[in-house]
Amino acid sequence: MSDRDEDDAVAGAFALGTLDPEDRRAAEQRIAQDPAFARTVAAWERRLAPLAAIPEAVEPPAELWTRIEQATILKATNVVPLRRARQWQFGTIASLAIAASLAAFIVLQRPEPAHVAVLAPIADGTAVLLAIDGSNGHLTVRPTGAIRVPTDKDLELWALTKGDTKPRSLGVLPAEGRTLVASLRPDTQLLVSLEPRGGSPTGQPTGPVVYGGTLTQIN
């Protein structure tokens, strides 16, 4: 058997999953160091993947999505000094966020921002949500990139005041964003959930929360 066949057999056994633990670890190291071997493994992954049609689908536990959400959205709020935030014009922020390759919502309450928060996300540390809390009660929500919502769904914006247990609806949020009147206290959480067309039928979020962040006061 040639070296090429030998490599191919090891790569195939790796993709199939039959290598014993020690051989599997050795193969993992080789994948990380040897691009040609990694490609051979990838070719086997592709060849064997249709076998995954055999196992039956089994509904995961209901709380699994929440666990995944918690593991992929960072809850921490990074506060940006107000002066710097004022210098950031809306477009600058939008283009920064687009440059960061993120489709996210910018939340602005204008004019004369009194509080500001940048909500930094996800694994790679790029900002997804900027919230500036103004004093005239106008809240503008804008996506920084294209957000496509399934045709049978709508996004709905919610405000959860600190200490409350139930969010109140601020209405359906078109994918292109909207401006609305809302008087929000600092520490209010803004949440966006995915709901049936026309918004939640119950007055409470019924679908998954897909964006979220907290307004924080700056002094």
Give 66 or 204: the residue with its C-beta nearer to another protein. Answer: 66
The single residue among 29, 32, 34, 46 that binds another protein, judged by CB under 8 A, is 46
Which position among 147, 157, 170, 173 is part of the footprint of another protein (CB under 8 A)? 147
CA distance from start to end of the chain? 73
> Residue 111, preceding bond cis, omega within 30 degrees?
yes
Q: How far is the CB of 121 from another protein (least distance, A)?
A: 7
Residue 32 found at the interface with another protein (CB under 8 A): no
50 contacts: CB under 8 Å, gap ≥ 6: none
Shortest Cβ distance from residue 72 to another protein (Å)? Answer: 5
Instruction: List binders of another protein among 77-136 (CB under 8 A).
Output: 100-104, 121-124, 126, 128
> What H or E segment, with its residue span, contains residue 90?
helix 90-99
26, 29, 34, 64: residue in contact with another protein (rule CB under 8 A): 64
**Is residue 67 at the binding interface for another protein, with CB under 8 A as the rule?**
yes
- Considering only residues 178-197, where is the footprint of another protein by CB under 8 A? 194
Among 155, 157, 173, 190, binds another protein (CB under 8 A): 155
> At closest approach, how far in Å is the CB of 183 from another protein?
27
Pick the stretch among 15-23, 165-173, 182-190, 197-205 that binds another protein (CB under 8 A): 15-23
Half-sphere exposure of 41 (CA within 13 A, CB side): 20
Let me know: does 217 contact 187? Beta carbons within 8 Å: yes
In terms of C-beta density within 10 A (0-12 exposed, 13-18 middle, 19 or more buried), how is residue 40 classed?
buried
Please state, in angstroms and rounded to a whole number, the distance separating the CA atoms of residues 172 and 188.
18
Q: How far is the CB of 10 from another protein (least distance, A)?
A: 9
Q: Count CB neighbours of 211 within 10 A.
A: 24
Q: Does 8 bind another protein (CB under 8 A)?
A: yes
Tokens 């994918």 belong to 175
* CA neighbor of 119 nearest in space, from 176, 89, 79, 179: 79
Q: Which residues are at the interface with another protein (CB under 8 A)?
A: 5, 8-9, 12-13, 15-21, 24, 42, 44-61, 64-65, 67-68, 71-73, 100-104, 121-124, 126, 128, 145, 147-150, 155, 194, 208, 210-211
